[in-house]
């Protein structure tokens, strides 16, 4: 059974700092990995999608990496801003054909202080 862990559970940083969020998964036979952002009481916004054959994806100030063999992904946020404050969720989809749903980590709650 796939398990996804995110460390740290919470993180508070001053504005302008670069930061890294970590995600690990137990089964390396993944189809892809997706990073999401969730604001309090809201739905999920997709940030980056990394296919199993890729090593990294970039969008603006965000960069996500994937190391399938070690079961790890990182989300790098450059020059953080107060608007980046949210919970960041990592989710993996396994390769098994009948199980296309995502398995989520418990998230990292990020607070960027002005």
Partner 1 sequence: EAGVTQSPTHLIKTRGQQATLRCSPISGHTSVYWYQQALGLGLQFLLWYDEGEERNRGNFPPRFSGRQFPNYSSELNVNALELEDSALYLCASSLVYGDRGNGYTFGSGTRLTVV
Nearer Cβ to partner 1, position 51 or 70?
A: 51
Collect all residues with Cβ–Cβ distance below 8 Å to 14 and sequence separation of at least 6: 112, 113
**Contact between 101 and partner 1 (CB under 8 A)?**
yes
Contact region with partner 1 (CB under 8 A), list: 14-22, 61-69, 74-82, 105-113: 105-113
Subset of 28-47 contacting partner 1 (CB under 8 A): 32, 34, 36, 41-46
Give CA torsion, residues 105, 111, 112, 113, to 10 deg.
Answer: -170
Angle CA 86–88–89, to nearest 5 = 145
What is the token pair recorded at 14?
A: 């001053």
Residue holding tokens 């989809």?
Answer: 93
Nearer Cβ to partner 1, position 28 or 54?
A: 54
**Contact between 55 and partner 1 (CB under 8 A)?**
no
Q: Which residues bind partner 1 (CB under 8 A)?
A: 32, 34, 36, 41-46, 49, 51, 89, 91, 98-107
């Amino acid at each position: 059974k796939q398990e996804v862990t995110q460390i740290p559970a919470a993180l508070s940083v001053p504005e302008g700092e670069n930061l890294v969020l970590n995600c690990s998964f137990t089964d390396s036979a993944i189809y892809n990995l997706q990073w999401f952002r969730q604001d309090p009481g809201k739905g999920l916004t997709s940030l980056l999608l990394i296919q199993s054959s890729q090593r990294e994806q970039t969008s603006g100030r965000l960069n996500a990496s994937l190391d399938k063999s070690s079961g790890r992904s990182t989300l790098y946020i450059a020059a953080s801003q107060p608007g980046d404050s949210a919970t960041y969720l990592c989710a993996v989809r396994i390769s098994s054909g009948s199980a296309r749903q995502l398995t989520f980590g418990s998230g990292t709650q990020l607070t960027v202080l002005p």
